[in-house]
A and B are shown apart, each in its own frame.
Chain A
Amino acid sequence: MKERVILNSKELEFTLQRLCYELVENHGNFSNTAILGLQPRGIFVAQRIHTYLSKITGNKKIEIGKLDITFHRDDFRRRENVLIPTPTEIDFILEGKKVILIDDVLYTGRTIRAGLDAMLAFGRPSLVELLVLIDRRFSRHLPIQANYVGKKVDTIESERVLVQWKETDKKDQILLYSQK
């Protein structure tokens, strides 16, 4: 297994900050916009984005939630193991709000499809946008694209992208694993 760093710690920080400024351009001080991190790994991106946005906008009350998509996935009963859920924590209503869905890697688009479905249990947002750190281009199974992209990478199916965080993996970095 070969390992290559796509973004190191410093680059990842710059990318996150750039994404935040792009968000602020469109959403101002986030008074009517909430951010939702997709479980399990999108929540780390969402938390970082939330921290930067609070600093940039000065708004300390930007709403942030965690969304689990397990029960909305399209591969239930089609896998060897049962899909085990993670907690959903959304203590606000999405009705009429703008929502930024956040995940670490956009690959087939199926997770995002499930996320859009799961989100509707909390109300009908006025607008939904998608932010991802890594966009694995040319590998979509569904017509889904992100509005905000950290970095686009061209990968083949056997390759794997892993986003690591200080909180869980001791280091901020994004790695690409390939077979040879």
Chain B
Amino acid sequence: MNKLSVNHLLGIKDLLKDDIELIFNTADNFKEIINRPIKKVPSLRDITICNLFFENSTRTKLSFELAEKRLSADIINFSSSSSSVSKGETLIDTVNNILSMKVDMLVMRHPNAGAAAFLSRNVNATIINAGDGAHEHPTQALLDAYSIKEKLGTLKDKNILIVGDILHSRVALSNIFCLQKLGANIKVCGPPTLLPKYIRSLQVETETDLNKALQWCDVAMMLRIQLERQQIKYFPSLREYSMLYGLTLQKVNKLNKEILIMHPGPINRGVEITSDVADSKHSIILNQVENGVAIRMAVLYLLAGKTKPTATL
């Protein structure tokens, strides 16, 4: 396989297993490149990319920006708080105005699920979803799966546990699609109110006892409680949540095996994970961040490769 089956990266659901493997193989090369003294290649020098962030972001935004710069693309950044969106401009109008300035690709984060798919149907540019509401966050899932593969060699038949606010998590949904396509078994764990009712229809098992779930898994992916998306109270208090579902060194040490511990960030230390676990030898949180740049370079490169330069149109 030498090209992606899709023209936009809207979600992992649309990708084939071959697409994911192609992205991983390409990311291997970029990982080598970003560890060189000169970390830049000229592939995207005739491409302009706009990073549209309608929601706050640190890691994803910086990681995309760095990936774009390492590929020599020209970039412009947009954040909704300092833009005319607050004056009432629609999404399509905002984007079409940006595209009039000859932008080829858009990386978008938006609070509404489906925003990236909607945009891909209505504007003429390559769209990369950097998170749409509680729907998908495809590059995060790709870098998570890539990081696990790097440590364990394969995803096939590995037991991956996702703990926390599954209901509001786009990272959880994208990871479920991605890891299942690569042959892993998935279990989610959290208070029953934060486990979506239909999660079992995705062939995902549920567990409410964290200690039991940890004993089952090879990898534990801890998620943040997304208080900003919660309109009602899903559990009595953060303290109680932390006691039952927070990962502590004591819980990890009780296991009779080694597990990998991951977190997509931002971490609320002391809530879903304690500092001693987040900074322990089991944790691959910073590897995830490093791999994020390589994965995003691979996605940008492979999608840009499917477009044609203006001079040859």
Contact = CB atoms under 8 A, between A and B. Distances in A.
Nearest to B3: A82
**Which one of A76, A81, A86, A120 has the highest number of Cβ atoms from chain B below 10 Å of its Cβ?**
A76
A85 B28 CA distance: 9
A72 interface: yes
Interface in A85-130: 85-88, 93, 117-118, 120-123
A87 B30 CA distance: 10
B305 A122 contact: no
Interface residues of A, number: 22
A84 B43 contact: no
**Which one of A86, A88, A121, A122 has the highest number of Cβ atoms from chain B below 10 Å of its Cβ?**
A121
Nearest to A82: B305
Contact of A77 (B29, B42, B304): B304
Given A71-B33, A87-B32, 15 more contacts: A68-B29, A71-B41, A71-B42, A71-B301, A72-B41, A77-B46, A78-B309, A82-B306, A84-B2, A84-B26, A86-B29, A87-B28, A117-B42, A121-B37, A123-B37
B307 interface: yes
A20 B43 CA distance: 35
Instruction: Report the 5 A-B pairs with minimum CB-CB distance, sorted nearest first.
Output: A82-B305, A71-B41, A85-B29, A121-B38, A81-B2
Contacts of A72: 41-43
B214 to A, nearest CB: 37
A32 to B, nearest CB: 20
B25 interface: yes
B302 interface: yes
A33 interface: no
Contacts of B309: 77-78
B2 A122 contact: no
Nearest to B47: A77
A11 B306 CA distance: 43
Given A71-B41, A71-B43, A78 B29 contact: no
B197 interface: no
Interface of A: 68, 70-72, 76-78, 81-88, 93, 117-118, 120-123
B233 interface: no
Interface in B99-144: none
Contacts of B33: 71, 88, 121
Contact of B36 (A76, A83, A122): A122
Interface in B259-291: none
B302 A82 contact: yes
Contacts of A117: 42
A27 B38 CA distance: 28
A77 B308 contact: yes
Nearest to B104: A77
B312 interface: yes
Interface string B1-37: 0111000000000000000001001101100110011
A120 B39 CA distance: 11
Nearest to A81: B2
Nearest to A79: B305
10 contacts: A70-B29, A71-B43, A77-B46, A82-B4, A83-B305, A84-B2, A87-B29, A117-B42, A121-B38, A121-B41
